[in-house]
């Protein structure tokens, strides 16, 4: 009897110990690594789980109806499929940014891709910008350091607007900054300072485009003075000034000036743009650009728009434009609906 009791007691103890071991095993679960808000770099960033890198995703969806005075042909030029003075256009843009702190300073990456749907666009996503920066160094496809942006119009009317492959160094201190860049001239083909340059091809030159810029900003203003030298087309150079001021509260005023000299032919462009807020979610903007270019001609562009935001990150608006260059004038207009996200 004593032996039986001992055996039953041992069995019960072993069963209890086994149950405790199983319970202990169940209690040791892998911790869940929840996505956490990263407030070190502003709003919209989240830590990538298991890392010290912060990620932000933003973008927009835009729908437009575009009207033009002259009929626009689509399809083959000799046998167009359509001949209309209007068209629909839809754009989707995705921006992915990452930031982290290192012993060398902030490590930052930026990728922007967009897709356009229209009669002659198939909707494929194309990369618009993609670059990495570490401290003062930036490398990749980005807006040219020479450019200053445009007016408050939908199309910008930029005096120079180019996204180029580049290597850039920049420093900022007490509201002032210096930028030095070596840029690929292939990205600068097309409209530049009013010149309709063709693709560079074999005329790209023996060295990259060289850019230097000085920036400054205060409480209600900012400015940028930039210089460019290019070895393309036997060499040309340009200088550009861009300024922006806050006036009458939240209203904005921009003034830009550009001068370009290319193998004996020179030209200049001027831009002025004013944005007035009727109320915090309703504004109108007027933009005027003037160009005078040797061997090409002179003329101006005019744009006026009104934009209303009934809710945050959503806007509807309309813009009318008039272009008059070398005695050829055209009217056009845009009605736009846009939703931004990720800010």
pLDDT at 130: 98
pLDDT at 123: 82
pLDDT at 196: 53
pLDDT at 263: 74
pLDDT at 205: 75
pLDDT at 191: 55
pLDDT at 341: 96
Model confidence band, residue 186 (pLDDT cutoffs 50, 70, 90): confident
pLDDT at 286 over 60: yes
pLDDT at 5: 47
Q: Is the backbone of residue 202 left (phi > 0), alpha (psi -120 to 50) or beta?
A: alpha
Q: Which one, of 271, 235, 50, 40, lies nearest residue 147 by Cα?
A: 271
Mean pLDDT of the chain: 85
pLDDT at 229 over 90: yes
Q: Give the mean model confidence (pLDDT) for residues 141-147.
A: 95
pTM across the whole model: 0.84
pLDDT at 340 over 70: yes
Burial 30-61 (b: 16+ CB within 10 A, else e): eeeeeeeebeebeebbebeeeeebbbbeebbe
Which tens digit of pLDDT belongs to each residue from 123-135? 889 999 999 999 9
pLDDT at 59 over 90: yes
- With 0-12 / 13-18 / 19 or more C-beta atoms within 10 angstroms meaning exposed / middle / buried, residue 219 is exposed
């Amino acid at each position: 009897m004593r032996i039986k009791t001992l055996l039953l007691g041992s069995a019960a103890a072993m069963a209890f110990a086994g149950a405790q071991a199983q319970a202990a095993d169940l209690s040791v679960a892998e911790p869940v690594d929840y996505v956490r808000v990263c407030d070190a770099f502003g709003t919209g960033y989240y830590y990538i789980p298991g890392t010290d890198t912060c990620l932000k995703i933003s973008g927009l969806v835009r729908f437009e109806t575009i009207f033009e005075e002259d009929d626009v042909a689509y399809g083959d030029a000799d046998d167009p499929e359509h001949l209309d003075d209007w068209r629909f256009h839809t754009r989707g843009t995705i921006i992915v940014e990452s930031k982290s702190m290192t012993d060398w300073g902030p490590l930052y990456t930026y990728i922007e891709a967009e897709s356009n749907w229209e009669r002659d666009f198939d909707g494929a996503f194309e990369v618009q910008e993609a670059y990495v920066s570490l401290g003062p160094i930036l490398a990749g496809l980005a807006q040219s350091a020479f450019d200053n942006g445009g007016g408050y119009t939908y199309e910008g009317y930029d005096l120079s607007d180019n996204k180029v492959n580049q290597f850039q160094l920049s420093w900022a201190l007490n509201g002032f900054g210096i930028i030095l860049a070596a840029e690929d001239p292939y990205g600068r083909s097309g409209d530049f300072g009013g010149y309709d340059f063709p693709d560079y091809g074999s005329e790209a030159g023996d060295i990259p485009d060289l850019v230097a810029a000085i920036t400054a900003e205060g409480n209600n203003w900012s400015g940028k003075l930039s210089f460019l030298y290019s070895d393309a087309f036997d060499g040309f150079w340009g200088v550009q000034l861009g300024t922006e001021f806050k006036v009458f509260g939240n209203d904005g005023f921009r003034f830009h000036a550009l001068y370009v000299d290319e193998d004996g032919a020179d030209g200049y462009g001027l831009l002025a743009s004013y944005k007035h807020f009727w109320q915090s979610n309703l504004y109108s903007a007027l933009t005027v650009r003037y160009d005078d270019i040797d061997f090409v001609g002179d003329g101006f562009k005019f744009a006026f728009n009104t934009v209303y935001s009934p809710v945050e990150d959503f806007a509807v608006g309309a813009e009318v434009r008039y272009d008059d260059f070398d005695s050829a004038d055209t009217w056009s207009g845009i009605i736009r609906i846009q939703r931004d996200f990720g800010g």
